[in-house]
């Protein structure tokens, strides 16, 4: 066992969870990873990977039994995200987004809403967490999408941008402002918009630096009529739901980043153990060993923090926003650094597409940007120490 295996071995997974994580690891290694280069180059949506994930019934792990799920711990979910992202960051992002958009439904949906929507996800549906707008990114509270009540319906007008799974989602967890509430933040509300709703238009899919196979869509809502029964909570409950959603999606983004970091670290170690210069393997140069030591130490410590946050969530904590921000910040900065160092350790070959580290460096970048940029997370963490 190496240091990383020992950290994982210390996590209190049940026997059943360990078996599932092992199945995901094998699927990721043998089926998803070999396709990653093709999907990265073509930019095609990785339907074959989504089908393979659904064949294992993976969405069910975050859905309660009553709605067709087979729930497991948050720690087990994070372990699966990390394995899938390690094999293909696009696929990892797609699957993690299903969790990000579904968790608020589980936490805040009514019985009737859960009965209608959760089986869609348990059966392998795709979902989108639909927050960002062209003029409301880091400050999501500046969103302008309008929810106007009209009898038994809510009329939705507005636009969203950069929405993961946006072009093919079955369910959109959509945030907007209630027209009858004046105060901007208090007006934020959230509803479920279903695929095929008239007036929903996919305006564009982005051509991206990394995560090239995941769909990142600009959406327009033109007088979409959504049943009032699809509103989560009351008008104005959206900000609370948003903050709760981000608390559990940010550690998931960290697990995604750590998957990329692990892949880059393993590739670098394998390469420098083979490649020789000046009659010695690259790994034998002390300057290189110092680089490896820094990468491995930071990776091990960040993974330990991942499991710390997972324990908080699984233990029922609700006040862990700062821990989640620290984790997202550290894991994503680390993924970017390790991927960049891995390219460096491959020399000129790392700069070429023949080696996976070239893709990993491009894939890593998004982890510093989405789910709150790292500037925003530094602000949240720093601000928490300001005395009132």
Ligand X SMILES: Cc1cc2nc3c(=O)[nH]c(=O)nc-3n(C[C@H](O)[C@H](O)[C@H](O)COP(=O)(O)OP(=O)(O)OC[C@H]3O[C@@H](n4cnc5c(N)ncnc54)[C@H](O)[C@@H]3O)c2cc1C
Task: Please identify every residue annotated as catalytic.
Answer: 371
129 binds ligand X (CB under 6 A): yes
Q: Residue 73 or residue 161: which is nearer to ligand X going by CB?
A: 161
Candidate segments 129-137, 232-240, 288-296, 315-323, binder of ligand X by CB under 6 A: 129-137
Candidate segments 132-140, 179-187, 189-197, 247-255, binder of ligand X by CB under 6 A: 132-140
Q: For residue 302, what are the contacts with CB-CB under 8 A and spacing of at least 6?
A: 254, 258, 261, 327, 330, 331, 334
Among 11, 88, 126, 366, binds ligand X (CB under 6 A): 366
Q: Residue 163 or residue 336: which is nearer to ligand X going by CB?
A: 163
Q: What is the largest CA-CA distance in the chain?
A: 79
C-alpha angle 154-160-166 in degrees, rounded to nearest 5 = 95
- CB-closest chain residue to ligand X: 137
The answer to whether the beta carbons of residues 186 and 255 sit under 8 Å apart is no
369 binds ligand X (CB under 6 A): yes
Smallest gap from residue 146 Cβ to ligand X (A): 17
Smallest gap from residue 84 Cβ to ligand X (A): 16
Tell me the β-bridge partners of 156: 147, 224
98 binds ligand X (CB under 6 A): no
Among 164, 215, 248, 332, binds ligand X (CB under 6 A): 164
Q: Residue 219 or residue 226: which is nearer to ligand X going by CB?
A: 219
Smallest gap from residue 156 Cβ to ligand X (A): 15
373 binds ligand X (CB under 6 A): yes
Among 25, 208, 225, 337, binds ligand X (CB under 6 A): 208
Look at residue 223 and give its three-state secondary structure.
Answer: strand
Q: Which of 317, 316, 332, 342 is nearest to 374 (CA)?
A: 332
Candidate segments 18-26, 77-85, 161-169, 336-344, binder of ligand X by CB under 6 A: 161-169
Q: Residue 267 or residue 371: which is nearer to ligand X going by CB?
A: 371
Size of the site for ligand X (CB under 6 A): 22
> Can you point out the beta strands (E) in the chain?
127-130, 146-150, 153-164, 171-178, 188-194, 200-205, 216-227, 276-277, 280-281
143 binds ligand X (CB under 6 A): no
| Distance (Å, whole) CA 254 – CA 325 | 9
Q: For residue 76, what are the contacts with CB-CB under 8 A and spacing of at least 6?
A: 13, 14, 17, 20, 21, 61
123 binds ligand X (CB under 6 A): no
Cα distances from 348 to residues 133, 209, 343, 352, 364, in angstroms, run: 39, 20, 8, 7, 19
Candidate segments 5-13, 130-138, 185-193, 247-255, binder of ligand X by CB under 6 A: 130-138
Residue with tokens 């009514």: 110
Q: Residue 75 or residue 200: which is nearer to ligand X going by CB?
A: 200
Cα distances from 72 to residues 76, 114, 239, in angstroms, run: 6, 18, 27
370 binds ligand X (CB under 6 A): yes
| Distance (Å, whole) CA 224 – CA 356 | 43
Smallest gap from residue 185 Cβ to ligand X (A): 16
Q: Is 109 exposed, middle or buried (0-12, 13-18, 19+ CB in 10 A)?
A: buried
Smallest gap from residue 306 Cβ to ligand X (A): 21
Q: Residue 129 or residue 329: which is nearer to ligand X going by CB?
A: 129
| Distance (Å, whole) CA 388 – CA 379 | 16
| Distance (Å, whole) CA 82 – CA 259 | 4
Smallest gap from residue 160 Cβ to ligand X (A): 7
Q: Which two tokens stand for residue 26?
A: 């094998």
Residue with tokens 């998931």: 252
216 binds ligand X (CB under 6 A): yes
Smallest gap from residue 66 Cβ to ligand X (A): 27
268 binds ligand X (CB under 6 A): no
Task: Point out which residues bind ligand X (CB under 6 A).
Answer: 97, 128-132, 137-138, 162-164, 208, 211, 216, 366, 369-371, 373, 375-376, 379
């Amino acid at each position: 066992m190496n240091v990383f295996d020992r950290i994982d071995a210390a996590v209190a997974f049940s026997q059943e969870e360990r078996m599932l994580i092992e199945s995901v690891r094998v699927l990721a290694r043998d089926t998803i990873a070999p396709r990653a280069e093709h999907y990265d180059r073509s930019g095609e949506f990785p339907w074959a990977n989504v089908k393979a994930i659904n064949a294992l019934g993976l969405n069910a792990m975050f859905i309660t039994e009553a709605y067709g799920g087979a729930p497991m711990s948050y720690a087990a979910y994070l372990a699966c995200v990390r394995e899938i992202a390690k094999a293909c960051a696009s696929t990892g992002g797609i699957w993690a987004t299903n969790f990000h958009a579904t968790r608020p439904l589980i936490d805040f949906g009514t019985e009737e809403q859960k009965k209608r929507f959760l089986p869609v996800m348990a059966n392998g549906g795709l979902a989108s967490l639909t927050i960002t707008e062209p003029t409301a990114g880091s400050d999501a509270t500046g969103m302008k999408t309008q929810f106007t009540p009209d009898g038994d319906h809510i009329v939705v007008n507005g636009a969203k941008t950069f929405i993961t799974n946006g072009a093919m989602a079955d369910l959109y967890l959509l945030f907007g402002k209630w027209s009858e509430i004046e105060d901007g933040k208090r007006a934020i509300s959230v509803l479920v918009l279903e695929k095929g709703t008239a007036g929903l238009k996919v305006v564009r899919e982005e051509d991206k630096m990394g995560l090239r196979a995941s769909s990142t869509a600009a959406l327009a809502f033109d007088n979409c009529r959504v049943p009032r029964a699809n509103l989560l909570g009351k008008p104005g409950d959206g900000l609370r739901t948003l903050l709760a959603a981000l608390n559990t999606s940010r550690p998931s983004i960290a697990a995604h980043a750590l998957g990329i970091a692990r892949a880059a670290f393993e590739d670098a170690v394998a390469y420098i153990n083979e490649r020789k210069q000046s009659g010695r393997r690259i790994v034998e140069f002390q300057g290189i060993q110092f680089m490896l030591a820094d990468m491995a130490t930071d990776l091990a410590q960040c993974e330990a923090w991942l499991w710390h946050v997972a324990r908080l969530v699984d233990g029922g904590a609700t006040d862990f926003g700062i821990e989640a921000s620290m984790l997202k910040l550290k894991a994503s900065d680390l993924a970017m650094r390790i991927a960049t160092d891995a390219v460096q350790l491959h020399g000129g070959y790392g700069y070429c597409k023949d080696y996976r580290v070239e893709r990993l460096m491009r894939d890593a970048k998004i982890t510093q940007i989405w789910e709150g940029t790292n500037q925003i997370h530094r602000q949240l963490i720093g601000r928490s120490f300001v005395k009132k």
